[in-house]
């Protein structure tokens, strides 16, 4: 039961071409695969940064959580994802401590990882994803 | 000239004890040193997450950039820092591409690193720090 690193930093974006030019052409990050995650209502584009990735989220529609985030706050940092070992034990520990989660149990995210989100109200205003390889 | 990884994720906070309980007591992250960075107007607290760190920023006063950020947006994700090799070459390349920077040349940040910030307007709403060990 431990945090092994930062899996990714997720950014809500409305201008993927500007992002591509900066991250790929100028900073030289390797661009990974794109993936539609229907459950989260987003298309994700990954850019590799060392052991971690920067994940650009584009909403599938204005009605999705990321679509609403963009309308309310504009493009910018959306959440961070910590890779863990022992996700189920973490979920029990978080619940015992009264930490608010966005779902009762882990769900399936991009790259076939099991994920759960900690509510920003319980985490200093930061949406934190915990994720674990299956 | 390359990005070697995510150096840290910086969070603007107004409740360091809530953050400490979540990151240290519940998630089990190792707490690092605190440092006052007068130039940035913050106290920083580091939590180790694999190869990266999560950096909690507390403003030294309401008049500092982070103080104003908290007043305007509340606590939450503030910026990401990418560790690079070849910072000066990156600065030249960014300027050539017309990317807005917060300073003309790199300055000295926490942990004796040379740093420069890319303006969120040139980076999809994200404040991006590039940093390099001296």
Which tens digits make up the pLDDT trace of B27-80? 999 998 888 988 889 999 999 998 899 999 999 999 999 999 999 999 999 999
**What is the rounded distance in angstroms from the CA atom of residue B101 to the CA atom of residue A88?**
43
Q: Judge whether A81 and A131 are in contact, CB under 8 Å.
A: yes
pLDDT band with cut points at 50, 70 and 90 for residue B113: very high
Identity of the residue in A26, A56, A90 whose CB atom sits nearest the CB atom of B93 = A26
pLDDT category of residue B112 using cuts at 50, 70 and 90: confident
Q: How confident is the model at residue A1 (pLDDT cuts 50, 70, 90)?
A: very high
B86 near A CB under 8 A: no
How far apart CA B81 and CA B116 sit, in angstroms, is 9
Domains of chain A: 2-133 (3.10.180.10)
Write down the pTM of the prediction.
0.94
The number of angstroms, rounded, from the C-alpha of B46 to the middle of its chain's C-alpha atoms is: 11
The tens digit of pLDDT for each residue in A40-95 reads 899 999 999 998 999 999 999 999 999 999 999 999 999 999 999 999 999 999 99
CA atoms within 13 A of residue A70's CA, in its CB half-sphere: 20
Structure confidence at residue B88 (pLDDT): 98
Closest residue of chain B to A49, computed from CA coordinates: B5
Distance from CA of A94 to the nearest CA of B (A): 7
pLDDT higher than threshold 90 for residue A112: no
Q: Return d(Cα B16, Cα B29) in angstroms, integer.
A: 14
Task: Give the per-residue pLDDT at A51.
Answer: 87
Asked if B76 lies within 8 A of A124 by C-beta distance, the reply is: yes
A121 touches chain B (CB under 8 A): no
**Residue B110 reports pLDDT greater than 80:** no
Q: How far apart are CA B101 and CA B128, in angstroms?
A: 10
Q: Does B55 touch chain A (CB under 8 A)?
A: no
Residue A74 carries which DSSP code?
A: -
How far is residue A49's CA from residue A66's CA, in Å, rounded to a whole number?
23
pLDDT at residue A118, as a whole number: 98
Q: Please give the pLDDT value at position B33.
A: 80
Confidence class for position A12, pLDDT limits 50, 70, 90: very high
pLDDT for A33 equals: 80
Judge contact between A55 and A11, C-beta under 8 A: yes
């Amino acid at each position: 039961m431990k945090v092994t690193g930062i899996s990714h930093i997720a950014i809500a974006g409305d201008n993927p071409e500007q992002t591509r030019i900066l991250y790929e052409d100028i900073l030289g990050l390797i661009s990974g695969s794109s993936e539609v995650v229907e459950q989260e209502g987003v298309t994700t584009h990954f850019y590799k940064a060392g052991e971690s990735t920067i994940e650009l989220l584009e909403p599938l529609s204005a009605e999705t959580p990321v679509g609403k985030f963009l309308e309310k706050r504009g493009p910018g940092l959306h959440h961070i994802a910590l890779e863990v070992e022992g996700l189920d034990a973490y979920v029990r520990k978080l619940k015992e401590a009264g930490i608010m989660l966005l779902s009762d149990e882990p769900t399936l995210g991009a790259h076939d990882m099991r994920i759960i989100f900690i509510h920003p109200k319980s985490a200093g205003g930061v949406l934190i994803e915990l994720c674990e390889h299956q």
